[in-house]
A = this chain, B = another copy of it.
Amino acid sequence: MTESLDPIRLACWRSYIESSQLLLTQLEDELRGSNELSFADYHVLVLLSEVPGQRLRMGELASRLIFSPSRLTYQISSMQRRGLVSRESCPEDRRGSEAVLTAAGLLALHEAAPHHLRSVRAHLMDDLDDAEVACLTRVFDRLGRKLRDLRDASSAPSKS
């Protein structure tokens, strides 16, 4: 399957994509083992902990996580059952609803974060020298900007 990438770039792509999937699986296994959280649970907790009022509209949360509405509903229902988030109607728009971090959710995040960041350091970050950190930051900032612009452009008509 080399028809459109030279061998050096194809090897780079495969190394990046395979290692990244390995890393995601490993981090998720460790999060589940130490704190009974999936990677998606953890990501939702981090996002909610960092916004004013610890709450986000469902549409905004779906767009930040790049989840379909049905996948987000499933994810938030699962977290609601475990008491990590609650769902409330929006103060300014009664038809909309918001996911709100609970105290139990914040506590779960505070318990999980040191374990998770220790894993992140042990598997990847502590092995990087400063030049590699700068290179990865530059490459993935650029990639993120590009993909967000693409998403925004393709979903421009419907903002919610």
Contacts and interface: CB of A to CB of B under 8 A. Distances in A.
Nearest to A4: B117
A121 B5 contact: yes
Nearest to A20: B20
The A interface, classified by DSSP as helix, strand, loop or mixed, is: helix
B3 A140 contact: no
Interface extent on A, as a size class? 35 or more
B133 A15 contact: no
Contacts of A136: 12, 15-16, 135-136, 139
Interface stretch (A52-60, A77-85, A90-98, A146-154): A146-154
A128 interface: yes
A66 B15 contact: no
A142 B13 CA distance: 14
A132 B127 CA distance: 17
